[in-house]
Amino acid sequence: MKNQFYIGLLLLLSFSLMSSTCSSDDDAMSDNSQQIAQIEVQATSGTWRITNFVDSGVDETADFNGYDFTFNTDGNLIATNGANTLNGTWSVTDDSIGSSDDSNDDDDIDFNIFFPVPDSNDFEDLNDDWDVVSNSATQIILIDISGGNGGTDNLTFERN
């Protein structure tokens, strides 16, 4: 009889711990959900240009001179310089939900960019799940720390 009491107590304690763990995850998601929504609204308001792109210490900003970027609400991303147009996709996601990102910060938000281009295309360098460093109505600053070589990439969009 004593053993059944202890087993019951252990089960009750286990369920209590599991429910409190789930609760804190839900709180973190709701906090990031508000920031994600804010970033999405900012990104879809107007056109943007790249004012800084440093790929593992090499400034490659000039590769994107003249391009305007439009982040559509349906997840489509359009980059155009008048003569050339590239279509891609974008999204903003909570990194703490199933991401394989290399960051140690579980509460960060990813700004995902994908252009279906060959590896030799400059736009392939933008394909990543960028961590959002800061965002405002006029600027989105992103960073990525590579897991393979440890290089740091920086990307800044500014509203036109």
What amino acid is encoded at 144 in this protein? Answer: D
CATH topology of domain 37-159: Lipocalin (2.40.128)
Domain boundaries, the chain: 37-159
- CB-based burial, 17-53: b 16+ in 10 Å, e otherwise: eeeeeeeeeeeeeeebeeebeebbebbeeeebbbebb
**Tens-digit pLDDT profile for residues 62-120:** 999 999 999 999 999 999 999 999 999 999 999 875 544 444 444 589 999 999 999 99
Identify the residue with better confidence: 27 or 58.
58
Please report the pLDDT score of residue 9 as a whole number: 47
Q: What is the pTM of this model?
A: 0.76
Please report the pLDDT score of residue 98 as a whole number: 52
Residue 2 has pLDDT above 60, yes or no: no
